[in-house]
Chains A and B, each alone.
Chain A
Amino acid sequence: MPVQLNIPDSQEERVSKKKFWKFWIVMFLINVGFIVIIARLFAIQVLDYGNYQSKAKRQHESKVMLSAERGNIYDRHHKLLATNLRYVSIAVDPTVLKNEDRLCDLLSETINLSRSALKKKISDAKGSFVWLARSVNQARIKELYGLEEKGLILINEAKRRFPYQSVGAQLIGCTDIDNKGLTGIEFGADSILSGRSGYMIMYRDGLGRLRPSAGLPRIKAVNGHSVDLTIDIDLQRIVEFELEQGVKSTRAYSGTVVIISPNSGEILAMASFPSYNPERIGKSSANWMRNRAVTDVYEPGSTFKVVTAAAALEEKITTRNKVYYGYQGELKFKDYSIKDVHPHGKITFEEAIVQSSNIIFSTIAQSIPDSKFYKYIRDFGFGIVHGIDLPGEVTGTIQKPEDFHSSSKRFMGFGYGISATPLQVLSAFCVIANDGVMMKPYVIKQITGNDGEATYNAVPQKIRRVVSKKTADELTNLLVEVVDRGTGRSAKISGIKIAGKTGTTQQIVSGKYSKKDYTASFAGFFPAGNPKYAMLVLLDKPRSSYYGGSAAAPIFKNIASKWISVKPDAADDGIAHNVAPAEMIVPSLKGLSGSSSRDLLAELGLDFSVTGRNGLVANHSPEAGRSILPGS
């Protein structure tokens, strides 16, 4: 192509054609540059795409857990025992806030911050996020939900609330700060209650701020199921009130009460004192959070004579009127002796149980063959777990027949040399109360799904027949005698037949039986003709009196009589009782919805009036924990 010289200029010498090699060098270098860049882009974007993409995904996306709402826990009459209270934390994004004045006005009315303090917080904020209030009760800021304010950020948090506070706390259990079950039913049934949390993928920016996007995966949370327990919270409250009085008046270290419905195995009440408040677990000692009725063992002592008696009667080794010799209170052996509190001469088997003679029960046990005795102990549920739906159940220890030595049976006959949980001892009494048949004890009565449909209904389970009905009836009659005129007289309530047995055990302190530390217990059932309630009362190291009859039996009596006054058909025979109506404790209603509170109060038979608008209960009077009479 010829170069045109349009402007001839003497000063100018046109760059000649042969000089264009420099032009082409520049062209060439620039083009090489383009090709290198394109090759590099190809390497990054096409060849190494997968590597960069996964790195980018890690940088850009963040998985946010969507927590499932934890299921409620109810008692047998569907009274609310554990639920969730929604708290809200309030923050604002000052960069997009439009109606700052209006928001501050509204907030200052609902949270404890002045208008100017709020405005200062917002104006002092650096960046796009500032907390205004943390963990505010949702009921108090209901108005904020209707507010269409772009800069307002409300973050929901759920906290576990227990309307009855410490009542049933060891059984119901508590949750940790993340709402995971820690103890009791909350722990044992955690997988049922907790549901399945979901998640959503959110975009993250360079400052770590998250933003949702419709195109990213989102898995909804599945809320937990609700659990109805077999316990009766009203009975539980009476139990805990009386147990506390009993522990305090005997100056005992602690006490435990269990009540079972012997026909079904349902746990109706289960309590230990001292207890704790499940809403303030930080301040509670772990020692009092244990459900001692299943986690702790003791030597059952004389209450275990029921097992020895049942075995001897069933095996026809003894009869009610068989006469035994009481060795005048002390049976001596080469290296040990067995003593009775009250010396006996020749007395019948009936008297031996009524007066709780260690010597005679030792003699009877000795006459039962090793393997038979062992079989009955096992059949009554000792040395094995019941498999109750509560965490931490222990087996206790019993000796195997091959490990028996010369004195083994003599001591086991009156409840020494074996250890058992309160639940195991009471279950043995339930066998007698239930015509010789052992039922599996349980706490979970029903599980209800999110749709309100029950997914599980407990059915009473027969474990085995331990003794014949005849033996059970005979033993029941003997145990009625114990309460009528024997060691258990303190449990007697006029007009109702109670069968029971006392127990007083020396505790082993550093390898020796202590003369100071005792376990006082009383186990029994009523009404004896048609047992509906089997109850064990156990006091650890009572100081004022250490006998089961004088320390534990009165607590049994107080609980039974109060319960009969609340629920007269508990006595079956329907005899009128001159017992004053028991006081009841006002439940805590804070944070419950209006309708739940209404139901709860109606069930308790309390009148109430509502002030304020719909929503969640913010406050009530009288406050929780105060005692009032039913019907008020």
Chain B
Amino acid sequence: MVPVTYYVALSAVLFVIGVLGVLLRRNALIIFMSVELMLNSANLVFVAFARLFEGLAGQVFVFFVMTVAAAEVAVGLALIVAIFRSKRSVDVDQMSSLKG
């Protein structure tokens, strides 16, 4: 069997790549995808520890995280579409004014 540490290490690597994506890229869509990657790596740890401690609460929590992520993506992409309508760009550097 694979020790649980390996799963935590893999999840940490994926999380760091997600952080790097948020910090480096300026395309708002890619930043969104990086946030999804981070949520996903957290889910992986939840499932690994649910398996380790033989409790189903971790898996139920992952289910809720997925639901919240779906809602977040729906609203976030709607915001990006609305911003694109006024700015003609999804570059986060362009989104510097509060007025639409």
A and B interact physically: no
